[in-house]
Structures are given as structure tokens and as C-alpha cells.
Structure 1
């Protein structure tokens, strides 16, 4: 777009500022490109590692894998829509955006809202599907059902509101969209926190060597980081209420959103990379084996779900007649095995949380 004396911006510029309709890239747009590309590449790499682990190492896939792939497609759509929206004023000050650009910008804004709603929702549903598959406990599964209903319900409700009462194409007032953004940010923080805390009761019973505790702590720290980013974003969105420069401020908020969306995909993938580490980076796990070997004899072996077998051995002496004054002593080992099951749990759906986090032959270097 070329500058013209007849062109005016949607809002007047501040005193001493000349409007620029050349369409040249702003510093904010440059930052958006850097953050969008880096975060999308990171989530793509981690997702590829997860899919490699599930398809070629574990040789099994589930609903949680499908959901996280759909969430990743949302991250890609977020990047494409953001870059496409540059030509319509996304990342420009409102006084550099013409009325002719506004309808297309609003259409892009609808796409941004829908993607922002469903991309984290699918990542959360993927984690919940994973927890459901691995955990047969009825109480935990009841919590999972409730969170699935909550995430699906508010995502659908926000989509309906954004397409109807708060549709920017038919409502010039941005207050509705700002309020909707605040609600989305709040509900995302709440559900992120609940899903982050959901596996804690399951993991408390597991006795892990220090190295594994550190690795597990990194997983939770990453999830906590997403919650922190969401909190920072809600503070920024709240500060936008009194600022009419929407095309610029929305773009700044979307930088935080990019980290939030791709971070959700990374969190949903990273917990399943243990078999990949065992196969290609066993030195990490050998360190945890050394840390845990000193007190292995004192550690209670615990497997949360599925079979727990105990073995007891008894020695029976036998003797044969002396031959040449050489007495042969032989022993017969009789082994009894039995299984203990919790009758209050439901049926597992093909795994256990023990496979992800607890000590195993792979983690501890074998028994």
C-alpha cells in the first residue's frame, strides 16, 4: 500500500506522529515472526519425537496421539493466520490501518479467536485421554470425566459466543471481545492448573531415584511455565481494556499466546518420551540408575496399576547314597507366585502410570 494524502487511519495518530501506510514491517511484526517460528519448530520437533516413540518404539497409538496432532495443526494454523493478517494491519498501530483493511482484519481476528480456543483445548484433552488410558482408578477417572466436560463445554460455548454476540464482523464495540479474552485466559489458567495437579496423587506413591525426580520435575516445571505465561497474558489483556490501539495490542498479546499454545503441545508430548530416551540416550537413565542403586535394597518396589507379583523360595534338601565317600548334596528350589489386585479399581486401558514415571528395568539399568 502506498502513502496518499487522501488515506486516513482508523484513529488519529498521537501528536507529532505521522501515519505510515506503506505497509512496511514493524518491529513488533518482526518479533512475532521470530517467536512464532521458534515455538512452532520446537513443538514440531517434540511432536515428531513423540510420534516416533509411539509408532516405531512402542508400536501403539491412541486417542491421545490423535488429539495432540490436531492441537499441533492448530499451532500451524495460528502461525499461518498471524502471518496472513500482517497485510491487514495485524501488528500495526491503528492509525496506520485504513478502513478498507478493517473488514479483512476482523475476519482474521475471528480465525485467531477460534484457533486460540481449540488448540489448547485439544492439548488438554490429549493429556486427559492419556491419564484415562493409564489410570483405572474410579475416583481419578471421575475427575478426568469432569475436566473433559469442562474443557469441551467452555470451548464450545466460547466459539458460539465469538461467532454470535461477540462477532467482530458485526459488532464494532471491542469490549465484548476483550471480556471474552479475559474469560478465556482465566478459564485456561484454571484448567491448566487442575490438569497439572491431576497426576500428583498418582506420583506421590512412586519412590524414584534423584535423577528421575529431576526429570519429572522438569516436566512439571514446563507445565507450570505455561500457567505462568497464561497469567502474564491475562495481566496484559486486562491492561488493553483502556487502550484503543487494538491491532497493535492484540498482536502483542498473541506473542504470549504463541508460547502458551505451543507449550501446551510440548507438555502433552514430553511425558511420553521415556522409551525414546531409553533407546537413544540411555546415558541419561544410567545416571539415574547410579543415583538410585545405593538404596535399591531398601526401596519398596511399587507398581501402581496392573499386576504385582511376589515370589517366595523354599529349599528342600536331598541326598544320595555315598559313592566313594563323596556325599552329594542337592537342593530343590520351589517357587510360589501370586498376584495382588485392588478390587476397587476399574479395568486399565492398556498401560499404567508406572510405565511413564516409575522405576523399571529400563530406568534402573535392569535388575
Structure 2
């Protein structure tokens, strides 16, 4: 008999399904490697661009840059722990996992869970620190503190529960893990929504060209994509509640978690990349420069040599002779006006059309294409002027 037929899985295989203890990589494990590799590469590129922009273009590196870097390191650590757990059944069907592998599997699963708690939290902290730096308004800062405390509080609480009462190594209550996982997904969605909504009052108050508004909208739409991914993940997490094949379903749910955490880092980096785009990809912002506003009032003459224009049309006018008070007997239209003849005396009536156009502009600062999103928000709203 072969070694594979002598081994027993952690759960019985479905009827007609052969056991596989060969150690070959499953399709789900392969997808996990590919998706993580692609997304980590993308998040690494955007993090590099962010740090380059902050260090060499803006020449200001803030706490939020260090925090988002920690989040990126967490993404790499997440990938590494997932791959290490392949050996013990992560991404395999439970009937192909040896019962002796469940303890090391559970230990590494704790690492996966804790990383998933804190990676999105760090990304949110990075954005909250940015919001705090560019806005001095008391109301918005109060909300920033409130959301930050909420994120830290539930992240710490979930970590404590996961390594304590719901520890998969010391406790065999699978329902506790599934319920905690579901709660974690829901609270992540709620706080994602709060972090996305926080800058909306600031953006609403900005005087921006249409292109800049579109670009900012795209950035924050990407943030909402993270929330959508989290919602889709709940579907897979919900399957864990009734599916005993935990080693496979948890890995399937982690595919969406991988997308969620890496796209979160990418979104956090995009917020500060506008100076980089202006320097190296100026054509992206080119058409806004053609329609820039200017502050103040301006008067424009339609004629190059003055504000008056002699009309090309002539009109027959009745003229009253100043001496007799009688209407002129003869009127002749001339090229430059109307020549009125009245009893031997002549007078010229010149018709002119004068254009005087005054354009009033808001006295607020006009933002250039090269201004960063941070500069725009910091300058215009924000000192508490953003309204709810």
C-alpha cells in the first residue's frame, strides 16, 4: 500500500474523492502566490513613488509615511506567513491535511489573523495622520481622534480575543473563530467607510479645476473599492460558519484579504503623488492649465487700440436745428456716421459702440497643477472652514 493510502485526513473525504498527501501545490495555493506577488509588486512601486515624492520633491517626510511603510511591511509578512502555512494545510482541503499538522497550522493562522487586523489599521492611521496635519478645524480633528481611537480599540480587542479565548491552539471552539472573523470583517467595512467620508467636507469646500476634482474623486473611489472588496470577503467568511473545510475556505477568504490590504496601501500612497505626476507626467494634468482661473477683477477691451469701436452701420437720424428748433430737411448717411444738413450748416453724428466687460473672481488662492493634494486641502479648508 502506498503512503498516501495509509494516511488519514483531518476529516473524511467526500464520496468518490481520492486523498492527496503528495505535497504538490494546490490550485488555490498557486493563486495565492500569484495574486500576492502581483499586488505586493504594485504596492511596492506606489510606496517607492510616495517616499520619493515626499523625500525629494516635497522634501517633507511625515509620520504618515512611516506608518504606511509599516503597513507595506505587514503585507509582505502576511504573504510570507501564508506561504509558510502551505506546508501545514493552508489552501488544502481538510481531508488532505494530516491531523498532526493542525497544531502548527493553527499557530501560523494566529499570525495571519493578527496581521490582517493591524495592516488595515496602520493604513487607516496613515490617512488619519495626514488628515490631522492638513486640517486644524476642531470638529474634524475631534472626528479624526474618535475614528483613530475606534480603530485602535477594536484592533487591540480582536488581537487579545484571538490569542486568548479564541486561540485555535489551546481552544477547539471553531465557532468562536468564525464569529470573530465575521465581526472583524464588518468592523473593517464600517471604519473604511468612516475614513473615506472624513475628507469629504474638506473636498466639498475646495475651489478646484474640473480635472483636479476628477482626480481626487478617483483616488477616493479607489478607497471605496477597498470597502467593496471587504464586503465581497464577507461572503466567503460567511461560508466558514457552516463549512467544516476550514483550511481551504480560510485560504480562499485570504485571497480577498490580500487584495484588500494591498489596495489599501496603494490608495494611501496615491493621495500624495500629485507633485510626482506634475514633474514627470505633466501631460496628465495638461488640459487644466489651459483653463486656469485668476483671482481679482479684470476689464477687457474688445478692440486692440481701445475700448471704443466705431460702428460699421449707419442710421438715419432726425436732427433738430439748434437755432430754429426745426427738424432738419435732409439727412445723408456717411461711412463713418450720419451727416445731417440743416439750412447750410452741417454737423456730423458719429455712432460708436463701447464695450466694457468686467469679470469678478473669487479672491481665494488659485491652485496650480503642481500643488499636491495635501497643499490644496491644507490651504483651502481647511483650518476649520470645511462645513458639514
Q: Is the 8 A contact 1:70 1:122 kept in 2?
A: yes
The TM-score, its normalising length taken from structure 2, stands at: 0.77
Kindly provide the CA deviation profile for residues 275-297 of structure 1, in whole angstroms up to 9, marking residues without a partner as x.
Answer: 11121111112222225569996
Cα distance in 2 for residues equivalent to 1:244 and 1:11: 8
Q: Is the 8 A contact 2:9 2:98 kept in 1?
A: yes
Summarize the Cα distance change of 1:183–1:16 in structure 2 as closer, same or farther, 3 Å threshold.
same
Cα distance in 1 for residues equivalent to 2:174 and 2:363: 58
Deviation at 1:207, TM superposition (A): 2.2
Summarize the Cα distance change of 1:301–1:190 in structure 2 as closer, same or farther, 3 Å threshold.
farther
Q: Aligned pairs, how many?
A: 312
Cα distance in 1 for residues equivalent to 2:374 and 2:140: 12
Structure-2 residue corresponding to 1:345: none
* Structure-to-structure mapping, 1:342-361, within 5 angstroms: 353-355=374-376
Structure-2 residue corresponding to 1:27: 27
Cα distance in 1 for residues equivalent to 2:162 and 2:196: 28
Structure-2 residue corresponding to 1:289: 289
* Structure-to-structure mapping, 1:99-248, within 5 angstroms: 99-248=99-248
Summarize the Cα distance change of 1:295–1:287 in structure 2 as closer, same or farther, 3 Å threshold.
farther
Q: Is the 8 A contact 2:4 2:19 kept in 1?
A: no
Structure-2 residue corresponding to 1:300: 362
Q: Is the 8 A contact 1:210 1:291 kept in 2?
A: no
Summarize the Cα distance change of 1:22–1:299 in structure 2 as closer, same or farther, 3 Å threshold.
farther
Summarize the Cα distance change of 1:355–1:203 in structure 2 as closer, same or farther, 3 Å threshold.
same
Structure-1 residue corresponding to 2:92: 92
Larger radius of gyration: 2
SS in 1 for 2:60: coil
The TM-score, its normalising length taken from structure 1, stands at: 0.81
SS in 2 for 1:166: coil
Kindly provide the CA deviation profile for residues 102-148 of structure 1, in whole angstroms up to 9, marking residues without a partner as x.
Answer: 11110110000010000000000010000001101111000011011
Deviation at 1:173, TM superposition (A): 2.1
Structure-2 residue corresponding to 1:67: 67
Cα distance in 1 for residues equivalent to 2:247 and 2:291: 53
- Unpaired runs of 5+ residues, structure 2, are 297-358, 367-371, 381-388
Q: Is the 8 A contact 1:210 1:292 kept in 2?
A: no
Cα distance in 2 for residues equivalent to 1:300 and 1:164: 59
Deviation at 1:14, TM superposition (A): 0.4
Q: Is the 8 A contact 2:9 2:97 kept in 1?
A: yes
Cα distance in 1 for residues equivalent to 2:76 and 2:238: 27
Deviation at 1:5, TM superposition (A): 3.1
State the Cα RMSD in Å: 2.2
Deviation at 1:239, TM superposition (A): 2.1
Kindly provide the CA deviation profile for residues 166-222 of structure 1, in whole angstroms up to 9, marking residues without a partner as x.
Answer: 000011221111111111101100000000000000111112222112211110110
- Unpaired runs of 5+ residues, structure 1, are 305-350, 360-367
Summarize the Cα distance change of 1:290–1:352 in structure 2 as closer, same or farther, 3 Å threshold.
closer
Q: Is the 8 A contact 1:110 1:162 kept in 2?
A: yes
SS in 1 for 2:4: coil
Deviation at 1:240, TM superposition (A): 1.9
Q: Is the 8 A contact 1:303 1:354 kept in 2?
A: no
Cα distance in 1 for residues equivalent to 2:10 and 2:152: 37
Summarize the Cα distance change of 1:95–1:288 in structure 2 as closer, same or farther, 3 Å threshold.
same
Deviation at 1:62, TM superposition (A): 1.2
Structure-1 residue corresponding to 2:329: none
SS in 1 for 2:9: coil
Cα distance in 1 for residues equivalent to 2:167 and 2:7: 27
Cα distance in 1 for residues equivalent to 2:360 and 2:34: 51
Q: Is the 8 A contact 1:3 1:22 kept in 2?
A: no
Cα distance in 2 for residues equivalent to 1:92 and 1:299: 65
